[in-house]
Amino acid sequence: MPELKRLHAGHAPAVLAFELANRAYFAASIPDRGDDYFERFTDRYNALLAEQEAGICAFYVLVAEDGLVLGRFNLVDIEDHAAILGYRAAQRAAGRGVATATVRELCRLAAAQHALRTMRAAAARHNAASQKVLTKAGFVPVGPADPADLGGKPGTWYQRDLVSRA
């Protein structure tokens, strides 16, 4: 069974392999990270760990039994019992409910371990798979997203109240 684990330094090689293997797949629906991300991967990864250490963010990786990363699920801008959710799941596991199940699990974990009461996520209008993940995990649309937050594409903010479902 794949396991959702808190990101740590030892995950770095598997996370880089995941980002490289799925780069073109992700770029079809969300903005590409750019060459600079891969060239300066270690610096950026260490910066993420520092942000996590500071409590601003909480990063999770879904790790398969063979050690490969199947997905990344991130809580960012944690403040006032709320956070923004971001996620990406591997092409090799696409359409099997991996992202939906993991977002549901993260909602439980966010309430229990991070004392979150509300989670928000933005999805571009063209990103039907992401919208489906959010609605199936109990998020509801709450208003338009700034295209600047979605690589220039129009989209929607979704929200889920964690307290009433915890």
Ligand X SMILES: CC(C)(COP(=O)(O)OP(=O)(O)OC[C@H]1O[C@@H](n2cnc3c(N)ncnc32)[C@H](O)[C@@H]1OP(=O)(O)O)[C@@H](O)C(=O)NCCC(=O)NCCS
Task: Tell whether residue 4 is a contact of ligand X (CB under 6 A).
Answer: no
Instruction: Candidates 19, 21, 26, 120: give the one binding ligand X (CB under 6 A).
Output: 26
Q: Which is nearer to ligand X, 49 or 129 (CB)?
A: 129
Task: Tell whether residue 88 is a contact of ligand X (CB under 6 A).
Answer: yes
Residues 54-83 that bind ligand X (CB under 6 A): none
CB of 29 to ligand X, least distance (A): 4
For 98-160, the DSSP string reads HHHHHHHHHHHHHHHHH---EEEEEEETT-HHHHHHHHHTT-EEEEEEPGGGGTT--EEEEEE
Task: Tell whether residue 132 is a contact of ligand X (CB under 6 A).
Answer: yes
CB of 104 to ligand X, least distance (A): 10
CA distances in angstroms from 23 to 64, 86, 116, listed in the order given: 19, 16, 31
Q: Which is nearer to ligand X, 53 or 65 (CB)?
A: 65
CB of 133 to ligand X, least distance (A): 5
Please identify which residue in the block is written with the tokens 């500071």: 54
Contact 159, 142 (CB under 8 A): yes
CB of 153 to ligand X, least distance (A): 10
Q: Which is nearer to ligand X, 32 or 46 (CB)?
A: 32
**For residue 75, which of 26, 112, 35 has the smallest C-alpha distance?**
112
Binding site for ligand X (CB under 6 A): 26, 29-30, 87-89, 93-100, 123, 127-130, 132-133
